[in-house]
Structure 1
Amino acid sequence: MSNHKLADPSYNKQEVSQMWETILSCLPHWFDNITKDEKKMRKKVTQRYANMTLVGSILLILLIPVWRRLAQRLHLRMEIKTNIICIITLWTAITVGATTLQSQNDLLVIAKRLGRIPVALMPALLLLTSRPSPLPTVLYLTLLPIHKWLSRIVVIQGLLHTILYLFYFNHKGTMSKVLKLENIYGIIAMVAFILIAITSLPRIRRIAFKVFYFTHYLMTWVSVLALYFHARPGIPVFTSINILILVSQIAYRVHYTTLTKLTVTPMSPTLALVEFPINSIARSMELPVGHVRINNKHRGLKALWYHLVPFQHPFTVSSLPTDETVKLIVRRGTFPLISNHHYYITGAFEPELAFIHSKAKKNKSVRQPLLGGQFGGPMDYNITAERVLIIVGGSGISFGLPLYRLLNYNGISVRLIWVCKDIRDLNILNWFRGIQGIECYITGENDIEVDYYDDQKHGLDAPTIEYYGSLDDDASEIDFTTLGREYKEAHNIGPSSPLSLSSPHTVLTPMPSLSPLKRVPKYDSAPVKKVPSFKRLAQAKSVPVLHPDRLLDKPSTKSLNFHENIHIATSGQCSFTTTPPHLAHLPRSELPEFEKLKLPASVRVFSGRPNLGAEDYDWCTQTSCIGPRIEHGKSVCCRDVQDDGAHKRVNKENVWVIGAGPQGLVDEAGDWAKEGGLRWHGESFSV
């Protein structure tokens, strides 16, 4: 190149201009001159990618159980943040690829795809919200993160579709097309998407949940119908699938909804016990800690409205599937539950517990119940866990109690820690069996005097072995306290022991009672290099808040009134369970205003917050000594027993930490479990 050309300013400008045009030609832009054949071809390609998106998205959802099973076999554990990143990356790559591939950099083609691809994703989006989930062994709540991010992608693409078409109309000088009826339907669909997105924001959802729910449900119908009239060419297949999913949800809800009379008994100013017969549930429960959904009874058009719009309140079932009575522990809030009134009950909905399998799903690799398998009773479950630490807060006790009882029955070593603000909430424990050894931590200020009553004297928790052939939970539930499988095996308590049907009244020697001055039994344990602990929870005080002869902090100056702000029927009360012995002389419609709170003697209560640390980790990993073993007819310390295969230390793959209740407590417990390499399952009681 000559120096003359380099010095020529006009030549430099021309070269820069050509370079800029080359760059712009690589970017999507408007193509003004397109033949009819090219238009037809691009329309076919757009429809093809939409169909591929429809099929691919549904297949990805249907393969979720396969992926979960594969991850379990390969022992893959992904944090919640990692899961979310994978979800965002996967679905973003799918939608971006389906939008841009074979678009020939035509901005109009991309605009059309940005409208067609979200429509193709709608069936998958609705499938993710189905209750219960159509996917086997998958709880619908676990699919919500995918639903949230996929819906955000759909809204963003729909918004970009609208913006690009407005630019295109302006580019062609045809803005009047915005007022065409088909395009008005598109604007309606876009407004529906935006309303769903705005009301789904966490702060708005928590403050005005009813507004969020109604908007979410109604705008879904509006968007499905508006898109049908907006799309060109038509989308009869997509719309049919969407309507089929929505209508099937209504049909399922109506079919599995029954009208039931409830008994509501206030337990404290914050908690109440709700009961109704188990035959009132249209869909029987197989696993514990499932949930039902409750709605008010309405008449006329209002009843039809609430049948169509599923605004229901979910509550965890606190009783076991074998109990005759369904018990719910509910937090008294804005949703009124009035005793002796009728309500609509929908369900039950099965939980997702990776370590508990129903009897129908036999698995040779699953560790069979210690006594349930022997007796073949109705609480015979396949359980893979060896040790379980349950940490619940507030109304999360509704999740912890049935799980605790079931694991006890099946001989699994289990601990239950309950954190609550008001000591009066502990009154709920008087209405359940099989609660020996529960550790309760009171974080609030209380001035209620507490006393024990004898569990065995009242016949609530006597360790008498009986065959579980009856469904009467107050008469025939086997209570093994918290000895657990390891203790039973070490002391030869098993199939070869005198626990058999021929001697149904054999008595187990109870474990010596623990001193109430100790938070947990302290044993010498092997040093642990790194012991996870709570970072933001204060350590509990060393002195417990209840003792048979001790007051909380000071003498009681006020009585406990359970009738505050709750409706209780005074006559015609429907009762389904037995009143605790110390309340037997009172009618079920009334609870005493007393200055003393009576609890079973086996319940241990402490002041302050639990501080999970070395002792809890030792218990989970079984590095703490559980007591002497029987070896060759002699009592030998468990630490001196050689690991000969008969008494292996617990495998951390089979140690579970369960958290339920407020989000903060669940997050802290989850961090502690994951840092220690333990299995984790969390149930956050939040909106």
Structure 2
Amino acid sequence: MEVRHEGHHHTANIKYGHFIALVSLAHVGCIVLSRTVLKKYQLNNRIGLVASFLLWSIIIIGTTLINVDLSESYKTSIKRIGRLSYCLLPFDIFLILRPNFPIIRYLELIDLHKWMSRLIIACGLIHGVGYMVVWSIEGTLMVKSLKLLNFYGVIVFLANCLLLIISIGFFRRRNYPYFYIIHNLTVWLFVYLISFHARPGVSVYTLVITLLLGYQFYKKIGYLTTLKLHQHESSNLKIIELQNNFDFSPGSHIRLSYSYWDYRCWAYPTHPYTIAHSNLDSVYLVVKPYQFDFNASSKYCLTGPFNSTPDQFWTNSENISIVVGGSGISFGLPILTHLLAQGKLAHLFWSVKSQADLYILNALNINHLDHITVHITGNEDEESFGLLSNDEIELQSLSNSNIKIGRFSFTHLVSQLNKTNDDNKKWLVACGPEPLVIDAKKFANNKKIQILTEIYSI
């Protein structure tokens, strides 16, 4: 990790970094090809994600070990895997650009980004541990670790270790703003300290990464807007009204952050919200404002909208069941409205905690209530599908037959699905907490129907 001139071995790894960059470009090409020429969209294809990760792992391992005699030139492999991790960064950052390509669905590639990030961190840690072992054997660990260019690598190594720990699901979900700060800090350290640490240099990759990060920063800059807040005192669901000056497709998201003059705009992540309803003057969001402070007297930065529904869903569906929990109604309502306008067979099932949450339907002036069935659960978490002890519900907005007391079951969808015969055009849309989405995927798989999902969690 100090400046070393080992003849051929000093520059031997450059071509392998370029090879990984070319494979990254090929992967991007395959993604674009699958959405254009092949017209293929694999929703929630876990197999495809696992296959991509395993293939990348094999490529990295093979590239690290090829043309290396480990008994004599093991340092070459240790150096090489560190270089490969850096050369993967442009591809990994591309995966989270919003948007990266107009034909790619919003956040479609986020899971691949997560796994590629883990692979990059793993490669970096192997590189760091490898040199620590070598230096320990040589008895030069402290001396070489404290050399300036090597010490840059030590800093990145420690940052990656910290990021790996706080990436654990339990911690990340409960402390997401802090995870976000540490994640971004680690990325910046990785990009720019390694640009000095790497020998031979990686200036071309640093330039590409800087351009991608600059684009990402630019896209975060939206326009400032104010909002109106609507709320029922007994409901924890709020309606946010924003000025409508943009076009969007059903199921689209916007992202909100604080004003540019608020440090939280730059330190914390933007918050995604689905557009639940719109008219000529306003768009409406249905939110549970736990980690975001909504204040009618403040200004907010808005970016988007970002499309989250594939064309295949609109063109290849005729019988659609929509299952949502709590604030997931914001995803389901515009999709239901658009499907009914197309003359398709569609029904929405909404699980809520209490009768008070149903003010949403009246406040948004929903006029196709006969296509909505509400399950009132009454548990502390309205999205957990529990049981309600109170069985006396009176609502003017919904008929009694469309109000159910207690637990939602996916067996309720069977009669809806049986109204048509072509299973290829039957869809299940699910939006809410992860347990709901998991159950929806199992049901869709058993019934051999298509599925579109959104998880409303961090």
* Residue 430 (structure 2) pairs with residue 659 (structure 1): yes
Would you say the 8 A contact 2:444–2:450 is kept in 1?
yes
Instruction: Please tell me the residue identity of whatever aligns with 1:405.
Output: T
Tell me which residue corresponds to 2:236: 270
The 10-residue stretch of structure 1 (184-193 or 164-173) with the greater mean CA deviation from structure 2 = 164-173
Which of 151, 156, 164 is 2:122 aligned to?
156
Which of 390, 413, 417 is 2:345 aligned to?
413
Q: Secondary structure at the match of 1:130?
A: coil
Deviations 1:342-385 (A, max 9, x none): 222121112133435xxxxxxxxxxxxxxxxxxxxxxxxx6321
Tell me which residue corresponds to 1:359: none
Tell me the distance in 1 between the aligned counterparts of 2:85 and 2:348. Answer: 46
* Residue 391 (structure 2) pairs with residue 434 (structure 1): no
Would you say the 8 A contact 2:35–2:103 is kept in 1?
no
Which of 201, 206, 211 is 1:244 aligned to?
211
Distance verdict in 2 for CA 1:124–1:603, change over 3 Å: farther
Tell me which residue corresponds to 1:311: 269
* Residue 155 (structure 2) pairs with residue 182 (structure 1): no
Tell me the distance in 1 between the aligned counterparts of 2:37 and 2:404. Answer: 43
Deviations 1:626-670 (A, max 9, x none): xxxxxxxxxxxxxxxxxxxxxxxx421111100001111121122
Would you say the 8 A contact 2:229–2:296 is kept in 1?
yes
Tell me the distance in 1 between the aligned counterparts of 2:379 and 2:43. Answer: 40
Would you say the 8 A contact 1:291–1:351 is kept in 2?
yes
> Displacement, 1:51?
0.7
Distance verdict in 2 for CA 1:71–1:195, change over 3 Å: farther
Q: Secondary structure at the match of 2:444?
A: helix
Tell me the distance in 2 between the aligned counterparts of 1:78 and 1:310. Answer: 28
Tell me which residue corresponds to 2:250: 288
Tell me the distance in 2 between the aligned counterparts of 1:393 and 1:171. Answer: 57
Deviations 1:464-519 (A, max 9, x none): xxxxxxxxxxxxxxxxxxxxxxxxxxxxxxxxxxxxxxxxxxxxxxxxxxxxxxxx
Instruction: Please tell me the residue identity of whatever aligns with 1:291.
Output: H
Tell me which residue corresponds to 2:281: 324
For structure 1, which runs of at least 5 residues remain unmatched after alignment?
Answer: 1-35, 357-381, 447-535, 546-550, 553-595, 624-649
> Displacement, 1:324?
3.1
Structure 1: 4+ residue segments shifted above 6 A:
75-78
Distance verdict in 2 for CA 1:77–1:298, change over 3 Å: closer
Tell me the distance in 2 between the aligned counterparts of 1:345 and 1:244. Answer: 23
Instruction: Please tell me the residue identity of whatever aligns with 2:427.
Output: W
Tell me which residue corresponds to 2:85: 118
Distance verdict in 2 for CA 1:230–1:76, change over 3 Å: closer
Would you say the 8 A contact 1:71–1:77 is kept in 2?
no
Deviations 1:152-200 (A, max 9, x none): 1111111111122122223444332221100001111112222222222
Tell me the distance in 2 between the aligned counterparts of 1:384 and 1:335. Answer: 37
Tell me the distance in 2 between the aligned counterparts of 1:258 and 1:655. Answer: 39
Tell me the distance in 2 between the aligned counterparts of 1:83 and 1:295. Answer: 33
Distance verdict in 2 for CA 1:71–1:89, change over 3 Å: farther
> Displacement, 1:70?
7.2
How much is the aligned-residue C-alpha RMSD, in angstroms? 2.7
Would you say the 8 A contact 1:436–1:602 is kept in 2?
no
Which of 81, 89, 99 is 2:54 aligned to?
89
* Residue 449 (structure 2) pairs with residue 678 (structure 1): yes
- Greater share of helix residues, 1 or 2? 2
Tell me which residue corresponds to 1:457: none
Deviations 1:14-48 (A, max 9, x none): xxxxxxxxxxxxxxxxxxxxxx8xx4333343110
- TM-score norm. by structure 1 comes to 0.61
Spell out the pairing of 1:220-619 with structure 2 (5 A cutoff): 220-254=187-221, 257-267=222-232, 268-279=234-245, 284-297=246-259, 299=261, 303=262, 305-306=263-264, 308-309=266-267, 311-320=269-278, 323-356=280-313, 383-432=315-364, 433-437=366-370, 438-444=372-378, 551-552=392-393, 598-601=396-399, 604-613=402-411, 616-619=413-416
Distance verdict in 2 for CA 1:201–1:285, change over 3 Å: farther
Which of 129, 133, 136 is 1:170 aligned to?
136
Distance verdict in 2 for CA 1:79–1:252, change over 3 Å: closer
Deviations 1:437-462 (A, max 9, x none): 1100001179xxxxxxxxxxxxxxxx
Instruction: Please tell me the residue identity of whatever aligns with 1:345.
Output: L
Tell me which residue corresponds to 1:368: none
Tell me which residue corresponds to 1:503: none
Distance verdict in 2 for CA 1:138–1:621, change over 3 Å: farther
Instruction: Please tell me the residue identity of whatever aligns with 2:310.
Output: L
> Displacement, 1:600?
4.7
Tell me which residue corresponds to 1:100: 65
Distance verdict in 2 for CA 1:416–1:140, change over 3 Å: closer
> Displacement, 1:216?
0.9
Tell me the distance in 2 between the aligned counterparts of 1:214 and 1:390. Answer: 35
Instruction: Please tell me the residue identity of whatever aligns with 1:272.
Output: K
Count of aligned residue pairs for this structure pair: 445
Distance verdict in 2 for CA 1:110–1:208, change over 3 Å: same
- TM-score norm. by structure 2 comes to 0.90
Would you say the 8 A contact 1:420–1:443 is kept in 2?
yes
Distance verdict in 2 for CA 1:341–1:600, change over 3 Å: farther
For structure 2, which runs of at least 5 residues remain unmatched after alignment?
Answer: none
Tell me the distance in 1 between the aligned counterparts of 2:165 and 2:11. Answer: 35
Would you say the 8 A contact 1:265–1:339 is kept in 2?
no
Instruction: Please tell me the residue identity of whatever aligns with 1:331.
Output: K
The 10-residue stretch of structure 1 (390-399 or 170-179) with the greater mean CA deviation from structure 2 = 170-179
Q: Secondary structure at the match of 2:397?
A: strand
Distance verdict in 2 for CA 1:618–1:307, change over 3 Å: closer
Instruction: Please tell me the residue identity of whatever aligns with 1:290.
Output: S
Q: Secondary structure at the match of 1:241?
A: helix
Query: What is the aligned-residue identity percentage?
Result: 28
Deviations 1:572-607 (A, max 9, x none): xxxxxxxxxxxxxxxxxxxxxxxx764255982110
Q: Secondary structure at the match of 1:149?
A: helix
Distance verdict in 2 for CA 1:348–1:79, change over 3 Å: closer
Tell me the distance in 2 between the aligned counterparts of 1:100 and 1:427. Answer: 62
Would you say the 8 A contact 1:65–1:136 is kept in 2?
no
Tell me the distance in 1 between the aligned counterparts of 2:306 and 2:446. Answer: 32
